[in-house]
A and B are shown apart, each in its own frame.
Chain A
Amino acid sequence: MQVMVDAKKLVKTYNRADGTKVQAVKGIDLQIYKGEIFGLLGPNGAGKTTTISMISGLLAPSSGDATIGSYSITRQPIEAKRLMGYVPQEIALYPELSARQNLEFFGKLYGLGGKDLSRRVDEVLDFIDLTERQKDRIDTFSGGMKRRVNIGVGLLHRPQLLYMDEPTVGIDPQNRRRVLDTVKRLRDEYKMTVLYTTHLMEEAEELSDRVGIIDHGEIIALGDQNQLKQQVGEEDRLIFRVDMPNSADGLLQKLQQVEGVTRALYDAPQASEKDEKPVGKLTLFAKRGRRALPHLIREINDAGIEIASVEVREPDLEAVFLHLTGRALRD
């Protein structure tokens, strides 16, 4: 497979106000193939945006390099940037300009002009389904419409590679569905390579051909979804919402002795939760989880703990992250 992005030992170090240094990205190696959707999955603050900023030439890496096509982003940034489109996390548009004016402005920065620019803007407006509203100012648009223009700007110059940094943040389910469908169309119809960052496991699962899981500035897992899920084996996750004392080590030990259970984790209820009665989250990894379920319920009941709800989940990317870090993605 042809490599579109090849990042090698990318490091980004920041100086803190107190003079100490912090490494936001710690030597990332990453290859993204032509025509695939690559999902970079990780919790907030894991280093996704910093990584994508270095690969797109927005941030200079402290060390390491990345090539886009055959161009180094540090040594040939102009050539490399010609191949890529960029869709930032926030709505990076001029609210006082119309949708068309925004598209025309950014199109000019990518070297488009004259009739070519006008034609391309028409095509993009049609693609994002905003032809009717093209002359309206951006600040009159809904959040979903702004998102669509935000994506449209990244597509203007028909890039081979599109960076999308959490493009569904803050939009309603209907518009989110629209964005996800758009991303799939870009790959399927336009053969575009897409690097998509998200902290939502469901999005990464739905879209990605391959996934890189990032945490604390490091890629902790990389591969297609099946490869990653194999890391947690055939284990199901059994999630109990329980009213349990903060210190319940004794019960956890008992539960781990139930047949099939490999691991037990407990998240105590958060003080800020607004539930009438705060409940904790008890997560158990078990092979053939449904079979172990009655035994586990009995043990918990015997301990005098009230169960609010039970959920059984088959292996997914959330489980992979939990398996690798001991924390949930949304933590």
Chain B
Amino acid sequence: MWNAVRAIAQKDIYTTFTDRSLLLIMFVTPLLLSTIIGLAFGGIGGGGDLPVTQLALVNQDAGAELNGTQVAYGDIFVNVFSPSSDDAVPTGAVCQLLIPDPNNASADTGAFDITKLIKTTRYDTPEAARAAVDAGEQQVALIIAADLTQQLQISADSTTLGQTQVEIYGSPAYPVSVSIVQSITRSISSQIANGSVTIAATIQSLIQRAQIDPIFGLRWAAEQAAGTFRPDFGCGFIPDLSIVSIEREALNAAQTQSAFAQILISIGSGQAVFFALFTAQLGLLSIYDEQKQGTLARIMAAPIPRASILIGKLAGNFFSVLSQVLILLMALTVIVSIVEGEPQFIWGSNLPLVLLTTVVLAISVAGIGVFIVGLARTPEQARIMGPVVNSTLAALGGVFGFSLPLFASQFSPIYWGTNAFTKLAQGNPDIGLNLIILLVQGSVMFIIGTWLFSRRTDL
């Protein structure tokens, strides 16, 4: 029996992977779509109308005193993400790169109108911001730690950067939005680190000048005492003026990857699952094709149990889906490596979990495939139902670049799959719930679908 199962499965895998038009659907299309979306939203492509990101912003930064001056780097984030906010602090004309000109947002001054890209709502607590994301009211939450300025402060007394955290709590249903916020946050944090060193160097030079020039020293001391010394440190945050190159510290593990890579992780894995759904259905529909061309009757005339035919078909289908997803994941890594110009593995360092997730996802996808084909009364019906169901699951899972509320997304295995891959890519192994949901949903559909299908095909 098992020799027959293996022969049938091998034959199906061979015919699947030698069908050029099928290969086009299985591999070329998802890779092309993922790359285009990745380049448009996260890489060298740029341009186009970006979706508006709903950002929940929590600024807990308590600030710190820098040589008698109160500084709060958290305000820089507020300035960038919420320029019209009441507590947005103007930092001077030289900082136009970061602060939009509300009267001339589109002027070619190097400024851009971030309000067209991000709609920011301020929240008081991290819990409230995260809850808003969970409820689908917001797409991303940006939570600035209370010790941000304190840790990044450099003064005459302290010349090292501390460790701090800017938390980005994003909905996996909005990968593009999360990538945009991550990208801007990374840029700001880098500039803060550089700027902090610049400010320290500036103060050091002021001290040295005061020691050489007593008149300057007396005037500086008088202004400090009167509280009128307000130097414009905005220029310290202009990248071109960074006088010291420092190694960028990751605020979050995810930020070690580029926006392009991050988009390919979520969109690419979603596309992989989406197109694997078609493979699963087409694979099973091949039984009807075999019925038509007479090969099924010929197989049934062989001295093998009928169950082995069905098991062979299902096994071939499962391994085709598994191979497709694995190949697509590898290909996405290769694409990111080529675009980024350096070899990298985008799915995180936990290879066993990546493989386990792929296997569980293949079970889920194969389960949906069997269920749809089993549910349909005729192959024609299955050929209509399949794309409708697949597209719905893809839309719910955020594959097409727009997203639906989280509670809706959670109905799609694509959501749970991309969520798991995104977590693994970020170095977060907490994907137990994802795997359980995918496995249970896939197994139940697989069993029901197989029962229905075996009745319809008399196998």
- The total of Cβ contacts below 8 Å across the A-B interface reads 67
The answer on a CB contact under 8 Å between A109 and B15 is no
The answer on a CB contact under 8 Å between B11 and A90 is no
The segment from B36-44, B160-168, B178-186, B295-303 found at the interface with A is B295-303
The answer on a CB contact under 8 Å between A105 and B303 is no
The answer on a CB contact under 8 Å between B298 and A153 is yes
The segment from A78-86, A281-289, A310-318, A321-329 found at the interface with B is A78-86
Q: Could you say which of A79, A88, A153 contacts B303, with CB atoms under 8 Å apart?
A: A79
The answer on a CB contact under 8 Å between B297 and A109 is no
Q: Which of B6, B15, B295 has the most CB of A within 10 A?
A: B295
The answer on a CB contact under 8 Å between B301 and A78 is no
Complex CA gap A55/B294 in Å reads: 17
- Tell me which residues across on chain A come within 8 A of B299, comparing CB atoms: 106, 109
Contacts known (A81-B301, A88-B298); A108 close to B7, Cβ less than 8 A: yes
Within 8 A of B (CB), among A195-226: none
Interface string of A98-115 (1 = CB under 8 A from B): 000000011011110100
Complex CA gap A70/B213 in Å reads: 118
- Tell me which residues across on chain A come within 8 A of B295, comparing CB atoms: 92-94
Is the CB of B305 closer than 8 A to any CB of chain A? yes
Is the CB of B245 closer than 8 A to any CB of chain A? no
- Tell me which residues across on chain A come within 8 A of B300, comparing CB atoms: 57-58
Is the CB of B18 closer than 8 A to any CB of chain A? yes
B106 to A: closest C-beta gap in Å = 56
Is the CB of B430 closer than 8 A to any CB of chain A? no
Is the CB of A97 closer than 8 A to any CB of chain B? yes
A165 to B: closest C-beta gap in Å = 10
Residue of B nearest to A56 (CB): B301
The answer on a CB contact under 8 Å between B293 and A81 is no
Within 8 A of A (CB), among B280-308: 293-295, 297-305
Complex CA gap A105/B294 in Å reads: 15
The answer on a CB contact under 8 Å between A58 and B4 is no
Complex CA gap A97/B7 in Å reads: 14
- Tell me which residues across on chain A come within 8 A of B293, comparing CB atoms: 90-93, 95
Q: Could you say which of B3, B18, B294, B303 contacts A81, with CB atoms under 8 Å apart?
A: B303
The answer on a CB contact under 8 Å between B305 and A109 is no
Is the CB of A259 closer than 8 A to any CB of chain B? no
Contacts known (A94-B11, A96-B18, A113-B3); A78 close to B294, Cβ less than 8 A: no
The answer on a CB contact under 8 Å between A88 and B18 is no
Contacts known (A94-B11, A96-B18); A109 close to B304, Cβ less than 8 A: yes
Residue of A nearest to B3 (CB): A108
- Secondary structure class of chain A's binding surface, majority of residues: loop
The answer on a CB contact under 8 Å between B303 and A108 is no
- Tell me which residues across on chain A come within 8 A of B19, comparing CB atoms: 96
- Tell me which residues across on chain B come within 8 A of A86, comparing CB atoms: 297-298, 301
A195 to B: closest C-beta gap in Å = 13
Complex CA gap A56/B295 in Å reads: 15
Residue of B nearest to A108 (CB): B7
The answer on a CB contact under 8 Å between A78 and B305 is yes
- Tell me which residues across on chain B come within 8 A of A78, comparing CB atoms: 303-305
- Tell me which residues across on chain B come within 8 A of A109, comparing CB atoms: 4, 7-8, 299, 302-304
The answer on a CB contact under 8 Å between A82 and B294 is no
Complex CA gap A153/B294 in Å reads: 13
Contacts known (A58-B297, A90-B294, A109-B4); A97 close to B303, Cβ less than 8 A: no
- Tell me which residues across on chain B come within 8 A of A94, comparing CB atoms: 11, 15, 295
The answer on a CB contact under 8 Å between B11 and A81 is no
- Tell me which residues across on chain A come within 8 A of B297, comparing CB atoms: 53, 58, 86, 88, 92
Q: Could you say which of B7, B18, B301 contacts A57, with CB atoms under 8 Å apart?
A: B301
- Tell me which residues across on chain A come within 8 A of B304, comparing CB atoms: 78, 109
The answer on a CB contact under 8 Å between B4 and A108 is yes
- Tell me which residues across on chain B come within 8 A of A113, comparing CB atoms: 3
- Interface residues, chain B, CB within 8 Å of chain A? 3-4, 6-8, 11, 14-15, 18-19, 293-295, 297-305
5 more A-B contacts (CB under 8 A) besides A86-B301, A111-B303? Answer: A77-B303, A81-B302, A88-B297, A93-B295, A113-B3
6 pairs, CB–CB < 8 Å, chain A vs chain B: A92-B298, A97-B14, A97-B15, A105-B11, A108-B6, A109-B304
- Interface residues, chain A, CB within 8 Å of chain B? 53, 56-58, 77-79, 81-82, 84, 86, 88-97, 105-106, 108-111, 113, 153
